[in-house]
Chains A and B, each alone.
Chain A
Amino acid sequence: MAEPHGSALAPYRAVLGSRIRSQASYRTSFGLDLGSSLLVGLTELAEVAVLFTSVSAIGGFDLAAMLLVFGLADLCFSLADMVVGHCDNLPEYVRTGRLDVFYLRPQPLLLQLVTSDISLRRLARAAVGLVALVVGLVVNDLAWGPGTIGLLAVALVSGTVTFAALFVWAGGLQFFLVNGSEMTNAFVYGGRYAATQPGTVWGRPLVVVFGFFFPMAFTAYLPAATLLGLDTFAGLPDWAGWLAPVAAVWAWVAAGLSWRTGVRHYQGAGG
């Protein structure tokens, strides 16, 4: 057997490149997908705007501040959904035998799953999030400086990574659950929705679930609160936004455990 040729990343690049070319080659279908994805994004943005026609602030956040939270959360979620969103469709991979096929290839299963597809149509959703974020950054009175830019970058990267973990977390659980996506959608999409809300309005159970266990508050709300100098929840310090990477690490530890347990269950080794 010859030694493997070329870069260890080449297999993933080849598959992803091919997925991208394939999606872009069906232009009409791709256009429609983009359009419908855009519509969903705009509807969710409109929901926020409508809410603020009857109230002037929610949990200390006015419309401008909410735009910042919404923009951060939606941009991060859409990017994660684009790259790893298919992971919470695991039962489909099991049913069609695609998962078994991954076992026959010399790469780690999870990396193969993550890189097996990419949903470019989510770019439209991401664009909505980006516009909301930019508007949010402009209309709020921010003290621009290296700290602000740094926190923004940390928040965007950590938020995307945290949401990506959520999809993998869901995927791992779906090894166990019949009709698992029904249950995991509750925290994946519930988590996305929670992330667009200021945590100050949550009751204690929500704080526990979406503040810390699924660390949604750290993807958008806490970084925004830190950027704007607003109150945080659960007695966290006003610099809590900088803890976003800690939340991302925790989310991946949990996702990794969930995935590992799921795979062991699938192979029938305990679990």
Chain B
Amino acid sequence: MLEIPYGMRDFLPHDAAIKRNIENVLADLFKVWGYDEVITPTVEYLDTLTIGNKNSMQRHMFKFFDKNNRTLALRNEMTTSIARLVSSRLQNEDVPFKLSYICKVYRYEKAQTGRQCEFYQAGVELMGNGEPTGDAEIVALAIKSMLKAGLGNFQVCMGQVAFINGLMQQWNLSAEEQKCIRTALEKHDLVKLEKAVSEAALTDDAKAFLRSLPMLHGDKTVLARAKAFAVNEQSRQALQNLQKIYEALQLYGVAEYVVFDLGVIRDFSYYTGMVFEIYAPGLGSPLCGGGRYDNLLADFGRKCPATGFALGLERLMLALKNQGKAECLTNNKENYVAYAAGHLAEAVEKAMVLRAAGEITELAGTAQKLAEAEAYCQKKGYVNLVYIQ
């Protein structure tokens, strides 16, 4: 058997059908929520993709050179490409932009089930809306995406980057201390956090609160608990912002899926406000994530608030399989039209009528005896045999 490169996969008909059907559901959903699809190139200049995200993503990118020796890279996510699009190609058009995509992205990482080096993302970006209602729309649409795809059991964890930034500011932590605490929170390394906090010049109350930050997880009482510590404007506003987003989510009727988690910090450094991740039981990593990134577009020369999410299609497929909800997304083979010698014309006509009605219909390749047609029909798993003689 011929090999394929590391981290790549084939989708055979069964899985390809499930994937396509999920994509169709999501594409329709994004459309009716008023999001227009955009398509950007798979290959971009490395410099473009690393604007605003100067962290370690670079070493996870597939890179190569063009004829002029400029470094190219395969896109590792879509948000940056869409930010480029909005600030260059669409620069004369008015905000807000509501854009969606379903496409392949690439990351040079250890391949695992549900996350190969080449994988599919579906997502939306809302640019030009800085209000909590914008964030609520994004979270609500992410939840609806899960529900529409058929997923029943999942949880949304919502946090706020500005809350943690505000806290660090109000306590006058040095840049070095901030970095140390932030890395520990991001990696959820509570042992490192403990060490960093105990070495920082802070009151005992502040230390205790920082230590408890990753444990601030639960319903809206979490916000009340956090409020006592939010002294400066930034951290207080961050909590108010979460409160408002939550109220709007109640209007959408999806608040039951949301828990607060003030320790959630996503891997991408461009987030500035609300962040969220969606988890399903049995999946070792989040299947959807997103949040507000108000500064990224300014890096491309067009200052504009923005929020969005991306979901991993393979991970969603895996979660649906785990919950027994994938099989109903396969294609139901409906009709096999076979014919006795001399009846091709009627057979073609019949097949075309069935196909026009949207039924999956295969027409026999040649004239067959009834017994042959029955055997084939059974082997291929068609529900109905239409035999014309």
A binds B: no
